[in-house]
Structure 1
Amino acid sequence: MRMQDKVVVITGAGSGLGRESALLFAAEGARVVVTDLIADRAEKVTGEVSEAGGQAVWRQADVRVEADMQAAVALATDTWGRLDVMFANAGIAEIGFGSVAFEDLTLENWNAVQATNLTGVFLAAKAAAPVMKAQGSGNIVVTSSASSYAAYPHFISYTASKHGVNGLVKVLAFELGRFGIRVNALCPTHGMSANLAMAPDAPVLGKSYEELQPWDKANAAMPLRLDRPPVLRDNANVALFLASDESGYMSGVCLPATDGGTLSRVAIIFPEDLGGSGLGTGVTS
C-alpha cells in the first residue's frame, strides 16, 4: 500500500485526472479529501471511493477562493488530524479551446485561466503550508502540462499559466524545503481527460481524448507505438509516484508524464529514409 494512512487533499477531483487519482490513491491506502467546483461531482467520487472500500470525504471548493482552500485543508485536519499531500490538480483549458485569435483574446479570458491554473495552485499550496510546517513534513504535487515545455498552438493563456506553474513549483521547493516539504509537478502530454474540452457540468466521461477515437498506433501522435492508447491511469500513476514516499528525495521537479517520446522531437522535419544520420540536411551535432 504505497499511500497507507496518508491524508490527501485533491483539487478538481470530480473528473479527469483528479477523479482517477482519488480512486487510485484511496486504493493504495490514502484517506482522501475530494474537492471540486461542482459539488455533485465531488460527492459522487467520494461515494465511488467508499464503495471500493476506501476512505474519503468531500467538499465543494473553488481553487480561486482562498477561504475554500483553507476550508479544504481544515476538513483534512479535522477529520484525520494531519495533511500529508496537497494535490493541486484543478485546471481549465484555453477559453474557446484554441479558437480565439491572440488579438481577440480578452483580458477577462486571460484572467480566468490564470486564476484557476496558476493562482489556484498558489492558494492550494499556501493553505497547505502552515499545517505541513507544523508537522515538519509534507508534499505538494501539482498538475502542470507539457505545454510548459512546448507551447500548444493557440493555447495562449493556458501555455503561459503552465509555464508559471513550473516556476512556482521550483521556487516553492526552495522556500519550503527546509521545513521538510517537497514540491513537484507532473506535466502530462497525452492521456488526459476529454472533459477538459467540455463544460464544467458536462457528464464525466472518465476517458482520455485518445480513448474516444479508434486507436491506430501506426498514426499515433507520439513516437512510441503501443497497442493501446494512453489513458488517465497512466498520468495518475505518475501522480501516485510523486505523492508517495518512493519519490522521497525529489523536489522542484517538473516531470513529463505520458509523453510517449513527444518531447524528444524538434520542429524541423527530417526524412525518415535518412535513418537518423542527418546526412545531407546540414545538421551538425
Structure 2
Amino acid sequence: MDSDNLMWRAAMLRSEAVESRPAPGWAAGTSPVDQRRAQVECARILDDAGIRPGDHVVNLGDETALLTLEALRRVGSSGSVSTVTPVVPPIRQARPIPDGGTARWIGTDPSILDIPSASAQVVVGSGVFAYWSPLRGLMTEAARVLQVGGRLSICEPLHAERHMDIGWQGISRSEVHFVHAAVANSIPALRAAHLFSERGIVLSGQLVGLDAGLPRFDSVTTDLRDADSVKAYLLRPVTPGGLSTEAMMRKVIRDQSLISRYEHALFLGAEQSGVRITERVMHLTAVRRVLSP
C-alpha cells in the first residue's frame, strides 16, 4: 500500500464527535423526487432496525449521508455510528444540530470492516448487498460485528424485475435489449445485481447466523415527462458511486449512433406520452443468533 493510501486510510479511521444535518446540495445531481424517496427509504430502514439511544450502528455505504445523519440523531449523544464507504462522506459538509452521536468513517469497501466483533447493536444498508458478489462474504462481516440479538436492516433493489413502459420510436426492440444487456453486463457489480434475489440473501444470512423474517416489497416508479427528467435519469449513477447511465453506455457500446437513437427515443417518449420506470425494492430485517458449536 503506497503512502497516499496509508494517509487516506488513517484519515478515514479517525473518530470525531459529530452533530449534523444535511446542508443544501447534500444530494447534488439527484432530482427532488429522488431526494424525497431517499428520505422515506432511510426512515423506514432505521425504523425497522429499532435503533435505541446509546446503540452502536454500522452503516454499510452511504452516498448521501442520510442514513448516517438520521442514525446519529437516533443513537443520541451516548451512541455512535460507523460508516463504511471508500468515498469522502458528504456528512463533512453538513451543518450542526444538537445531541448527535459520535461518527466514525472507515475508508474501505463494506466487506472489510475494521470493527471489532460483536461490537454493534445494528447494521444498516441501502443498495449495498445487491451489488456484492460473493454475497456471503458481505453477510459474514455484517454478522461478525453484530452482538447476539443485534439487528440487520437493509433495503435493496431487485434489478431483474425492473420494467420500462415506453413506446420506443426510432429504435428496434432488439436494439433496446442490446443496450440494456450491455450495461447490465458491463461490470461485476451490475452482473451481481441482476442475479440478486430475496431467496439468495435470506439463505446467505442463515448460513452465517442471521435469521431473517419475510422480506417486504415496494414498487418504486420514476416518471419521465420532459427533457429535464430524462437528462436527470441519464446522469444518475447506475451503481452507488459508479458511472452514470449515459457514461456507462458510452463506455461499453461502440456504436455511438445507437446510443444517440436510444437517448432520442427516451426524449420523444417522455415528451409525447411519458416514460414510466418501475423498480421493485426489498426491505429485509434479520436478527443475529448464536451459532451452534
TM-score range, shorter chain: 0.3 to 0.5
TM-score by length of structure 1 reads: 0.45
RCO higher in structure (CA 8 A, sep ≥6): 2
